[in-house]
Amino acid sequence: MGVTAFPHPGNLPQGQSDIATSRRHEPDWMGIAVGGALLAGALLLLSGKKKAGLAVTGGAMAISLLEQQDTLREWWHTLPKYLDDAQRLLDQAQNTVDDLVAKRDRLRAMFNR
């Protein structure tokens, strides 16, 4: 499902320009189905039918992910790196908090003498 159309290069070999021209005029049925399902899900959510709206919207997401399998595969392969980075950040935050607690305890011990 594309958001914008890229310009068609004019210097294609003979025969390929006819194929590209015919593809440009075909409707994007996958995009139409996803858009319609997202619209229906949004209307269901706005009307208060949360379970049905979430189900329809989830179906629309699944359909759009079927079309974008390469992108989904890339995300799946890069996800562990991002999770490792997030874990390292949380570990650093935990170490900082532990250090501050230890310093606080030392200061309290010093002032309570």
Residue 85 in this model has a pLDDT that exceeds 90: yes
**Residue 103 pLDDT more than 70?**
yes
For tokens 């992108």, name the residue: 71
> What residue segments make up the domains of the chain, in order of their start?
1-67, 69-113
What is d(CA 94, CA 63) in angstroms, rounded to the nearest whole number?
40
Instruction: Round to whole Å and give the CA distance between 99 and 97.
Output: 5
Check whether 1 has a pLDDT greater than 60.
no
Question: What per-residue confidence (pLDDT) applies to 99?
Answer: 97
* pTM confidence score: 0.47
Q: What is the pLDDT of residues 9-67, one digit of tens each?
A: 556 566 555 555 555 678 888 889 899 999 999 999 999 999 999 999 999 999 888 88
Q: Which residue has the higher pLDDT, 67 or 105?
A: 105
Burial class (CB in 10 A: 0-12, 13-18, 19+), 77: exposed
In this predicted model, what pLDDT tens digit does every residue of 39-50 receive, in sequence order? 999 999 999 999
Q: Does residue 72 carry a pLDDT above 90?
A: no
Does residue 79 sit in helix, strand or coil? helix
Q: What is the pLDDT of residue 96?
A: 97
Concatenate the DSSP letters of all residues of 45-77 into one string. Answer: HHTT-HHHHHHHHHHHHHHHHHHTHHHHHHHHH
When pLDDT is cut at 50, 70 and 90, the band that residue 107 belongs to is very high
